[in-house]
Amino acid sequence: MIQLFTFFAILGACLQAHSYGGLTNGLLLSGNVATLNQQTETQTSGTTKSTLKIQIADIKIGQITENGWYFGALYHSQNQGSSTSTDRTHSPGLSFGYTLPEGLYFFGHVLGFAEFKDNTNNIEYTEGTGFAADIGYLTDLTTTLYVGFCYSFRQLEFKKRKPEFSSFQSRKYSEQSPMFSIALLF
């Protein structure tokens, strides 16, 4: 309950923040990050503890037109690790979207050349394609520095597997995550 109250208090403060002109007409360089740390303890005849850490990062660069349209590129990276191994996903993509002067934005991304490395099982998936969508809010701290948050959805499908496996057709992956955002508008 306290986390929900804190979220809405921060959202209210962001919406009441002073505006220097909003997200219009400029080059936007932004980064989004999210992290999750999960600890599990299993008790049978002995106690087994495991830790899972997920770190997601997106780096975006794009042009916002005077009318609020956004065109750019992004690089997505995710590390998922346990106490024994770390798996990695990365993908570049092209971005498009729309921004409102008040700071609200809607971005879509077409992803390609994605790769997933499953280091636990020593498997690599390649030729990944997919899409992502972000809805977010940025508020200005100065005329060029913005902070905020976004909710991101992403889906990827990988067509090749190494080592090869005769019955393999594809591996699909999707995620949804809230993310913290920081941006520079030039």
Q: Please compute the mean of the pLDDT values over residues 62-81 and round it to a whole number.
A: 93
Tell me: pLDDT of 19 over 80: no
Position of tokens 């990827």?
Answer: 156
pLDDT in tens, 121-153: 888 889 999 999 999 999 989 889 999 999 999
The larger pLDDT score, comparing residue 12 to residue 165, is at 165
CA proximity to 148, closest of 131, 134, 160: 134
Q: Phi and psi of 174, rounded to 5°?
A: -140, 155
pLDDT in tens, 31-69: 999 988 877 776 667 667 778 888 999 999 999 999 999
Q: Which residues contact 5 (CB under 8 A, 6 or more apart)?
A: none
CA proximity to 154, closest of 174, 126, 184, 124: 174
Strand residues in 65-85 grouped as ranges (E): 69-81
Confidence of residue 5 (pLDDT cuts 50, 70, 90): low
Look up residue 37 and give its two tokens.
């740390």
Q: State the chain's maximal CA–CA distance in angstroms.
A: 65
| Amino acid at the residue 95 | S
Q: How far apart are CA 155 and CA 128, in angstroms?
A: 10
pLDDT in tens, 92-121: 999 999 999 888 999 999 999 999 888 878
pTM of the model: 0.79
Contact status, residue 132 vs residue 111, Cβ threshold 8 Å: yes
Domains and CATH numbers, the chain: 2-185 (2.40.160)
